[in-house]
């Protein structure tokens, strides 16, 4: 007798993975979208810097940019030192040598102007600081071009700096010629500029110095409330009679610092 075997049907379980996979894909897409938005925002915010990565500068642009950097260095330096790159008659304030704009070492007497034409004096200081550095910019660009097979000629550069409202203009006279096998490019001069409040600071500094000569002091509040609403002006008196003035542009937060010593009252009478 044959024994009939029963047939057992095993039903394979069905795994439904679709919802879970969809969720994972959606999560990945969301993350990628956030990252993409973040990257685009950075690019738009720093569009100038992003463009510069791929932009090839001309020789003139290279020299101009290098010159701007050194002029900005000079402006920052003299702005903390009373308009001098290497102060000689100064008051040491917070480890900075702050040059006197108006000074007397006598008590009970008004100060004398140390820099009667302050704007010209500061322009000369800027030129003195930047000239050797700008010449290095030119030589560096020349070396780079010569390595590319170009021939570069120029005269000894004459560099001048002029301060204007909200600006400092650099003019480099050099009669530059760039030659290669196909063409010759000639440039009589290179002009570039740096944004700065130095001109305005100088104008106010000169007014304060005139007050120091005539009255031995000045009322700082008048400049801020009536004449120059953009200006923050501080005056700090030192123990031996020196006054440190700090002029600050409220918008850019840039400053100019200088010293005066005038009409210091002596308890012992006139010296």
pLDDT for 228: 76
Using pLDDT thresholds of 50, 70 and 90, give the confidence band for residue 22.
Answer: low
Q: Report d(CA 259, CA 91) in Å as an integer.
A: 7
Look at residue 31 and tell me whether its pLDDT is greater than 50. yes
238-255 pLDDT tens trace: 999 999 999 999 999 999
Higher-scoring residue by pLDDT: 49, 205:
205
Q: Please name which of 26, 3, 15, 63 lies closest in space to residue 192, comparing C-alpha atoms.
A: 63
Write the burial class of residue 27 (CB in 10 Å: 0-12 exposed, 13-18 middle, 19+ buried). Answer: exposed
Q: Report d(CA 78, CA 101) in Å as an integer.
A: 13
Q: Report d(CA 66, CA 60) in Å as an integer.
A: 10
Q: pLDDT exceeding 70 applies to what percent of the chain? A: 83
In degrees to the nearest 10, what's the CA dihedral of 217, 220, 222, 226?
140
With helix as H, strand as E and coil as C, how does the chain read?
A: CCCCCCCCCCCCCCCCCHHHHHHHHHHHHHHHHHHHHHHHHHHHHCHHHHHHHHCCCCHHHHHHHHHHHHHHHHHHHHHCCCCCCCCCCEEEECCEEEEEEEECCCCCCCCEECCCCHHHHHHHHHHHHHHHHHHHHHHHHHHHHHHCCCEEECCCCEEEEEEECCEEEEEEEEEEEEECCCCEEEEEEEEEEECCCHHHHHHHHHHHHHHHHHHCCCCHHHHHHHHCCCEEEEEEECCCCCEEEEEEECCCCCEEEEEEECCCCCCCCCC
Specify the pairing of strand 255-261 against strand 96-103: parallel
pLDDT for 26: 66
Q: How many CB atoms sit inside 10 A of residue 64's CB?
A: 20
Look at residue 271 and tell me whether its pLDDT is greater than 60. no
53-97 pLDDT tens trace: 445 789 999 999 999 999 999 999 999 999 999 999 999 999 999
Higher-scoring residue by pLDDT: 65, 50:
65
Q: What are phi and psi of 149, to 5 degrees?
A: 90, 10
Q: Which residues contact 238 (CB under 8 A, 6 or more apart)?
A: 91, 93, 244
Structure tokens at 207: 């007014």
| Mean of pLDDT over the chain | 87
C-beta of residue 254 within 8 angstroms of C-beta of residue 232: no
Structure tokens at 88: 């000689």
């Amino acid at each position: 007798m044959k024994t009939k075997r029963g047939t057992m049907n095993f039903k394979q379980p069905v795994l439904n993975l679709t919802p879970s996979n969809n969720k994972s894909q959606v999560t990945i897409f969301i993350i990628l979208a956030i990252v993409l938005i973040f990257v685009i925002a950075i690019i738009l915010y720093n569009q100038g810097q992003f463009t510069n990565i791929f932009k090839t500068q001309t020789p003139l642009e290279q020299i101009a940019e290098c010159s701007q950097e050194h002029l900005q260095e000079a402006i920052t330096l003299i702005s903390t030192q009373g308009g001098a790159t290497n102060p000689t008659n100064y008051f040491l304030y917070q480890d900075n040598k702050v040059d006197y704009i108006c000074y007397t070492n006598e008590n009970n007497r008004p100060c004398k102007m140390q820099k009667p034409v302050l704007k010209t004096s500061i322009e000369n200081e800027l030129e003195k600081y930047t000239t050797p550095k700008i010449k290095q910019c030119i030589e560096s660009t020349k070396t780079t071009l010569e390595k590319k097979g170009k021939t570069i000629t120029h005269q000894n550069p004459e560099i001048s700096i002029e301060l204007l409202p909200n600006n400092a203009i650099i003019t480099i006279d050099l009669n530059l010629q760039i030659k290669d096998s196909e063409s010759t490019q000639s440039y009589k001069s290179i002009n570039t500029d740096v944004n700065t409040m130095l001109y305005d600071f100088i104008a106010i500094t000169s007014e304060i110095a005139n007050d120091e000569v005539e009255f031995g002091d000045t009322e700082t509040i008048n400049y801020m409330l009536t004449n120059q609403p953009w200006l923050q002006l501080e005056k700090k008196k030192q123990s031996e009679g020196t006054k440190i003035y700090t002029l600050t542009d409220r918008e850019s937060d840039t400053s100019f610092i200088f010293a005066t010593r005038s009409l210091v009252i002596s308890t012992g009478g006139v010296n």
